[in-house]
Structure 1
Amino acid sequence: MELSSRVKGMAESVTLKLNSKAVELSEAGVQVYNLTAGQLPFRPPQGFLDAIRDELDFLKSYQYSPVAGFVDLRKKIVHHIEETRGINFSAAELDGEAFDCVISNGAKHSISNILGAIVDPGDEVIIIAPYWISYPEMIKFCRGVPVIVQSSIFDVFTPPLQEIRKAISEKTKAIIINSPNNPAGVHYSNEWMSDFADLLLEYPHVAVISDEIYFEVCYYDPKPTYFYQKKPELLKRTIIVDGISKAFASTGLRIGYCVGPKNICKGIENLQGQLTSSANSLVQRAMMSYNFANSSQFLIPVKDHLRDNATIIREKLKDNNLMKCWYQPTSAFYFMIDFTQTPVFKKYQIDKNDKTDYAVKICEDMLNSLGVVIVPGTDFGMMNSARISLVLHKEVFSEAITKIVHFLNH
């Protein structure tokens, strides 16, 4: 049997390769520090767990929900988006019935659904590097063309708007904005969002997929804001993506959702109905009775934990004269380390004109010599860098960062 061209052309994850090696080392008795995780080491909110238990005895908890999700939950999610983002969908000059919600098997599923519903062969979708690993592969699977706009540590991984403007063409179907950002651990400023809104008004054929899965995991003010808050009319061509993976510390429960124009949501519903059907009924029913607002209280110790670990990175870099690598992470779970700003990079680079991406090699060497696993920036569209997850317990995290800093400084 032959694989399809779609799958043959799909990039293999370097992360999985490194994780396999990490498992081998761990099984051989080596101390391994895994800084790759995109999930919190916290149990979900107790009230949410109680809500799940309360639904266990009901037959409907084990049967199909409507394909797009239970109607009452979809209405609750739309209201939640309005309340937390400070918007009113009616302000988009459309009646209240013009927007809807589709509940899927995680935010990742929501994004692939959206791309499947709106992208035709040859359509271009703009993504910002560093980008989440799966964006380009999802776009290519839909026979679209990913168009990459670069950012860098020097502008704190905020994409220059003039570069986005250059990337827009007649073939541009959508732009994916991920703020707060995985892997950079920052969110774009209020000023940037305002300017981005003005830019979008110039290109009415361009839709926006706003991936906001880390919206509630912001641990430094000011909080994230969005372009559609500045120009509500942009909601007519915006699809907002969120879910419970991060805010409820529930990655394994696989509930994500999108909110957008009703005609787009109907197309997403049709696609989901044919490919996967509905999301988990038990968890959906628990969400209907759980007060989403309680998650802000639950996230207080989570945010303290992330701030503490971000501070550990800063102090370790400062103590070892590596502050050229430092920027302030403000949200999500991550920090990007730029190898080119460290002494060790000279051991890999042949000369100053050498533009080779050594990220995978550096991460492999770090794993083999230190037992520390971080994700090469290659997978995120960022050369000679790596993503460090901030979620490990403080003491173990501090040990790991000490090892990383020592490696980078020699």
Structure 2
Amino acid sequence: MTSPELQRLNINVASAQPSATYRMMDRVAAKRAQGVKVISLSAGEPDFDTPKHICDAAIDAIRGGQTRYTQVAGLRDLREAVADKFRRENGLEVSWKDTIVCSGGKQVIFNALAATLNSGDEVIVPAPYWVSYPEMVQLCGGTSVIVPCDADVGFKLTPAALAKAIGPRTRWLILNSPSNPTGAVYSRSELAALAEVLLANPHVLVLADDIYEHLTFDGAEFFTLAQVEPRLKERTLTMNGVSKAYAMTGWRIGFATGPQWLLEAMEKLQGQQTSGASSISQHAAIAALRGPQDFITESKAVFEERRDMMVKLINETPGLSCTVPGGAFYAFASCAGLLGKTTPAGTLLRTDEDVALAILDEANVGLVHGSAFGLGPYIRIAYAMDKESLAEACNAIRKFCLSLRD
């Protein structure tokens, strides 16, 4: 039997929580293994196949022998393509030397935090937030300062709330637009107002998580912070990747641009951690960034149609309500009207987590509870699925809600 001493963990790892999204996905998988049909609206990934020309580029790379280690910060050709993307789409005047490529967007964020945080350093995280932000901060030895941003402010950070949250130990602000889990999108004027606060606090770095950049709806234009306020460029890490825009979640390629001192520190860390990202995936990412962009336009139109359908169906369901998200592929629905009720199986719904678990157990639909993202009582519904399955899931949820008793 292993002794307790041998099982002793790093204190930050021991106190970290596993991803709520993956916990729900595990529950869904367990039900499916029992032969139960479950519709999962919990995963944050497009349901489309990766475009053919991207897959062909990967196959060509394999057949061409491009299967060896690459530079830690990424292939020169890919970094050139990344720099071109930032110049073309975001108005950021950067060269390939101002970029880094990592094994997914998560590694970009983790490397940045691990390279810069010391004990006592604080990271401002607007809530609702992506579930991994606070856990990454903790794993890297920092402290999250959670700033609630409820529906009254469109689930977005206000300049007043930002100014109040900044302290002498503030190291980073994490800003995600369009947002996971709410789909909230910051306008140019909203970013400019936040920039004024940041300019008055020169000790604060900014991590702009733009991974859902290409999924903005209703004709809204996307802006990133360093584009809106160039004076913040030298203390902003602008992060993106190919996972959401090109349906390449499994290829694990994220990238960023930022100040040289930070990129060098991130590269040093990555060199002792994973080294360069997959050579095959990097060649696929070059094809994604340099090849036809029709897929983005076509998939965006499909997601916007799904959004409209989902919001309508959710708002027609007793006990649920949802504002119209401006981007991404999530609906963040209030389930306050369900709390205090009892399910047919006898479960009292005290929290939004109770709601999500009961919907899985009794309606066979997988969702993630909003409090896992820092704000309840909500449920996050990912509509990255065909309309027929989405309608079937919504009907099951509606039937569940109608079955509740006071």
Same fold judged by TM-score > 0.5? yes
Partner of 1:329: 325
1:345 is matched with which residue: 314, 333, 339?
339
Supply the AA of the counterpart residue of 1:331: G
| Bigger relative CO (Cα 8 Å, ≥ 6 apart) | 1
Deviation at residue 6 of structure 1 after TM alignment: 2.2
Q: Is the 8 A contact 2:98 2:259 kept in 1?
A: yes
1:307 is matched with which residue: 304, 308, 316?
304
Q: Work out whether 1:35 is the aligned partner of 2:41.
A: yes
Match of 2:258, SS?
strand
CA deviation profile, 1:208-261 (whole Å, cap 9, x unmatched)? 000011111223321221232232111010001111111110111111111111
Partner of 1:26: 32
Match of 1:120, SS?
coil
- RMSD of Structure 2 on Structure 1 (CA): 2.0
Supply the AA of the counterpart residue of 1:387: R
Q: Taking structure 1 as reference, are residues 163 and 408 closer, same or farther at Cα in structure 2, changes over 3 Å only?
A: farther
Q: Is the 8 A contact 1:153 1:338 kept in 2?
A: no
Deviation at residue 44 of structure 1 after TM alignment: 1.2
The farther-off stretch of 4-13 and 270-279 is: 4-13
Q: Give the number of equivalent residue pairs.
A: 391
Q: Is the 8 A contact 2:177 2:212 kept in 1?
A: yes
Q: Work out whether 1:83 is the aligned partner of 2:81.
A: no
Deviation at residue 283 of structure 1 after TM alignment: 2.2
Deviation at residue 133 of structure 1 after TM alignment: 0.7
Supply the AA of the counterpart residue of 1:336: F
Supply the AA of the counterpart residue of 1:101: T
Partner of 1:4: 10
What pairs up with 1:1-400 in 2 under 5 angstroms? 1-2=6-7, 3-59=9-65, 61-89=66-94, 100-289=98-287, 291-292=289-290, 294-295=292-293, 297-320=294-317, 325-340=321-336, 342=337, 344-347=338-341, 358-400=351-393
Q: Taking structure 1 as reference, are residues 28 and 179 closer, same or farther at Cα in structure 2, changes over 3 Å only?
A: same
CA deviation profile, 1:276-313 (whole Å, cap 9, x unmatched)? 11101122234345553623x10233222212221222
Q: Taking structure 1 as reference, are residues 154 and 303 closer, same or farther at Cα in structure 2, changes over 3 Å only?
A: same
Deviation at residue 406 of structure 1 after TM alignment: 3.7
* Residue segments in structure 2 that go unaligned for 5+ positions in a row: 1-5, 343-348
* Residue segments in structure 1 that go unaligned for 5+ positions in a row: 90-95, 349-355
Supply the AA of the counterpart residue of 1:62: T
Match of 2:98, SS?
strand
Q: Is the 8 A contact 1:113 1:272 kept in 2?
A: yes
Deviation at residue 194 of structure 1 after TM alignment: 1.3
C-alpha distance in 1 between matches for 2:326 and 2:401? 23
The farther-off stretch of 192-201 and 285-294 is: 285-294
Under a length normalisation based on structure 1, what TM-score does the superposition of the two structures give?
0.90
Q: Is the 8 A contact 1:127 1:176 kept in 2?
A: yes
Match of 1:164, SS?
helix
Partner of 2:346: none
Q: Percent identity?
A: 31
Deviation at residue 54 of structure 1 after TM alignment: 2.1
